[in-house]
């Protein structure tokens, strides 16, 4: 990082010296010979573009494999009337890109730099490992409905970086967490940086913020968080690692899922002393100081354990509910999704409702018995809020189906270990939840002819298409397939618009879903 900063400083210093010898560098004026300069970074797919602006305003960089460009960064403020640098990311490996910058001064004047080129480097090799990605579009007549954006890929393989691809399966950004580490998960921050939960099975996990070039901005280990919580007081649990997910709040806070443990003696069916694994939530302010907490052991019955003990709750996703400021938590090993009274950091932590089998909602789909437990999701992943209107929330969920209760009242369940399709199956599903009447309806589902026990993701686009990811199918549709992502029509008979397959068999994608681009507020069409 120090080397990169030194290169950037030298570049800017040289440009400032040139500017001092030339007219047109005063406040509010754009140099007539505006020219950008580009250098590489430690990430071979990321460049730094520097431009002499000569005014206060904003700047953005366009880039692409031809002078048609086609992609652009976000707009960045220019405050020093001299030079501005922009990180340019979203490029394929070993490819020459054309770049130019657009400058908009606060006085209304604008300028475009002349074209310059940058050639990206190759992807890293051993021990870094990327899967083989195969993209298909099996229904050409539906190609016009394919949605824009790029693919986010989160993995649980210590040799595979966190990465994004374009929709043709080319890696366009990655962050390698180092030997033995995984980024689980990572998310784009409002400031343009990336926040990652970096986990190592042998050490504490870290919360790490990096820029697009991979330079560390700040980090906090689990041990750091333990000290902060002990010093601040008011918490009845000790965090033992960041786990599975965190939510980015509008006020700049981060609420993270962390592991916590508690000893129990002679639980029914479990004689002796057992250390049970639960989950907790920690609200971190803008400086990553803990200001609010929630402990699963305070609010749930340890004797309800869908998947047995000691892995009791296994929370795997966390959402912020913008219409009421509360939190929505997915607990895989409870087959429940909870709404928690957070109220933007002032809430009691009480559970407002449990969604799922034996929860607080009744299923009221026409033509089906409301007490049919097999209609509920089980061992689910990645709930996402599609819309909220008053008391109604539309949730998309990837329903893995493991431990699905098939028949009531005997409670027979399907299991990854001894049952397969059609008894056990996975599905992307959309529920509409009405908190005023405490009823839930399935508004769309696509029962798959495959069964994937873990991982998965789902989203629905504005045109109605649904994208979902199936991970580690018990019987894969093609040999050596680890995972696949599909965009399908959101119809009663879904048709495949786009598909990405992951090979070889161990190249799992824990989460894979589409995002608009690598820059906030920017959507890439291709």
Is 404 a member of any domain?
no
For residue 59, the domain's CATH number is 2.60.40.10
Is 256 a member of any domain?
no
Between the CA of residue 385 and those of 431, 450, 497, what are the distances in Å? Answer: 10, 25, 23
Which sign does the torsion angle of CA 69, 75, 81, 86 carry?
Answer: negative
Is 371 a member of any domain?
no
Q: Which residues contact 210 (CB under 8 A, 6 or more apart)?
A: 175, 193, 194, 196, 216, 217
Decide the pairing of beta strands 362-363 and 439-445: parallel
Is 455 a member of any domain?
no
Chain-centre distance for alpha carbon 137: 24
Which two three-digit tokens encode residue 390?
A: 């008053």
CA distance 27 to 105: 10
Residue in the block written with tokens 């010898």: 21
- Strands (DSSP E) contained in 24-115 are 36-40, 46-52, 57-64, 71-72, 76-78, 83-89, 96-105, 110-112
CA distance 22 to 16: 10
Report the run of H or E that residue 15 belongs to, with start and end.
helix 2-20
Chain-centre distance for alpha carbon 34: 38
Burial status of residue 289 (CB atoms within 10 A of its CB: 0-12, 13-18, 19 or more): middle
| pLDDT on residue 80 | 77
How many CB atoms within 10 Å of residue 202?
6
Is 372 a member of any domain?
no
- In DSSP terms, 275 is beta-bridged to 263
Structural domain boundaries, residue 105: 2-119
| pLDDT on residue 3 | 44
| pLDDT on residue 1 | 44
Q: Are 517 and 493 in contact (CB under 8 A)?
A: no
Q: Residue-wise pLDDT tens for the chain (526 aa)?
A: 444 444 444 444 434 333 333 333 444 455 555 678 999 999 999 999 999 888 899 999 999 999 999 999 999 999 876 788 999 999 999 999 999 999 999 999 999 999 999 999 999 988 899 999 999 999 999 999 999 999 999 998 888 999 999 999 999 999 999 888 888 899 999 999 999 999 886 566 899 999 999 999 999 999 999 999 999 989 999 999 999 999 999 999 999 999 999 999 999 999 999 999 999 999 999 999 999 999 999 999 999 999 999 999 999 999 999 999 999 999 999 999 999 999 999 999 999 999 999 999 999 876 666 678 889 999 999 999 999 999 999 999 999 999 999 876 677 888 766 666 777 899 999 999 999 999 999 999 999 999 998 999 999 999 999 999 999 998 899 999 999 999 999 999 999 999 999 999 889 999 999 999 999 999 999 8
**pTM: predicted TM-score of the whole model, two decimal places:** 0.91
CA distance 518 to 213: 12
Residue in the block written with tokens 């109605």: 464
Residue in the block written with tokens 């090799």: 125
SS3 96: strand
Q: How many helices (H) and strands (E) does the chain have?
A: 2, 37
User: What domain count does the chain have?
Assistant: 1
| pLDDT on residue 366 | 66
Q: Which residues contact 398 (CB under 8 A, 6 or more apart)?
A: 380, 381, 382, 426, 427, 428, 429, 456, 457, 458, 468, 469
Is 79 a member of any domain?
yes
Is 84 a member of any domain?
yes
Phi, psi at 274, each rounded to 5°:
-130, 135
Residues 340-366 as b/e (b if ≥16 CB within 10 A, e otherwise) read bbbeeeebebebbbbbbbebbbebeee
- Strands (DSSP E) contained in 358-420 are 362-363, 381-389, 392-399, 405-407, 412-413
Which two three-digit tokens encode residue 352?
A: 């407002």
| pLDDT on residue 157 | 83
Is 69 a member of any domain?
yes
């Amino acid at each position: 990082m120090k080397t990169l900063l030194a290169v950037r400083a030298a570049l800017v210093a040289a440009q400032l010296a040139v500017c001092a010898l030339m007219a047109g560098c005063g406040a509010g004026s754009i140099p007539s010979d505006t020219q950008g300069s580009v250098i590489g970074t430690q990430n071979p797919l990321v460049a730094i573009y520097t431009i002499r602006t000569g005014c206060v305003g904003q700047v953005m960089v366009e880039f692409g494999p031809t002078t048609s460009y086609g992609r652009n960064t976000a707009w960045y403020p220019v405050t020093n009337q001299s030079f501005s640098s922009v990180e340019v990311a979203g490029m394929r490996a070993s490819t020459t890109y054309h770049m130019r910058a657009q400058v908009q001064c606060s006085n209304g004047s604008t300028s475009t730099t002349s074209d310059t080129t940058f050639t990206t480097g190759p992807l890293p090799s051993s021990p870094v490992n990327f899967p083989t990605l195969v993209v298909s579009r099996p229904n050409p007549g539906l190609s016009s409905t394919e949605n824009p954006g790029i693919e986010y890929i989160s993995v649980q393989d210590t040799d595979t970086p966190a990465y994004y691809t374009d929709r043709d399966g080319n890696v366009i950004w990655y962050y390698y967490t180092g030997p033995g580490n995984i980024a689980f998960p990572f998310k784009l921050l409002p400031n343009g940086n990336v926040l990652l939960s970096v986990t190592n099975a042998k050490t504490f996990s870290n919360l790490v913020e990096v820029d697009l070039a991979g330079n560390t901005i700040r980090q906090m280990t689990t041990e750091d968080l333990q000290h902060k919580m002990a010093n601040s007081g008011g918490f009845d649990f000790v965090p033992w690692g960041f786990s599975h997910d965190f939510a980015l709040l509008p006020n700049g806070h981060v609420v993270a899922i962390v592991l916590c443990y508690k000893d129990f003696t002679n639980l029914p069916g479990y004689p002796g002393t057992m250390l049970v694994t639960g989950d907790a939530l920690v609200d971190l302010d803008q400086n990553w100081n803990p200001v609010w907490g929630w402990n699963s052991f305070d609010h749930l019955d340890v004797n309800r354990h869908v998947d047995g003990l000691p892995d009791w709750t296994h929370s795997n996703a966390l959402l912020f509910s913008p219409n009421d400021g509360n939190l929505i938590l997915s607990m895989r090993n409870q087959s429940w999704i909870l709404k928690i009274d957070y109220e933007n950091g002032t809430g009691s932590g009480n559970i407002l409702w449990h969604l799922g089998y034996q929860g607080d909602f009744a299923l009221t789909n026409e033509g089906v018995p409301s007490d049919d437990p097999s209609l509920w999701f089980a061992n689910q992943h990645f709930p996402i809020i599609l819309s909220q209107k008053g008391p109604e929330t539309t949730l998309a969920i990837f329903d893995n189906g493991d431990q699905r209760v098939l028949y009531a009242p005997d409670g027979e369940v399907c299991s990854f270990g001894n049952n397969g399709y059609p008894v056990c199956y996975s599905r992307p599903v959309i529920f509409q939840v009405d908190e005023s009447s405490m009823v839930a309806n399935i508004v769309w589902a696509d029962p798959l002819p495959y069964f994937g026990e873990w991982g998965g993701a789902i989203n629905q686009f504005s045109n109605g298409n649904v994208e979902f990811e199936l991970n580690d199918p018990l019987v894969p549709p093609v040999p050596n397939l680890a995972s696949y992502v599909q965009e399908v029509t959101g119809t009663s008979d879904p048709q495949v618009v786009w598909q990405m397959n992951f090979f070889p068999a161990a190249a799992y994608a824990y989460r894979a879903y589409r995002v608009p681009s690598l820059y906030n507020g920017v959507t890439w069409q291709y």
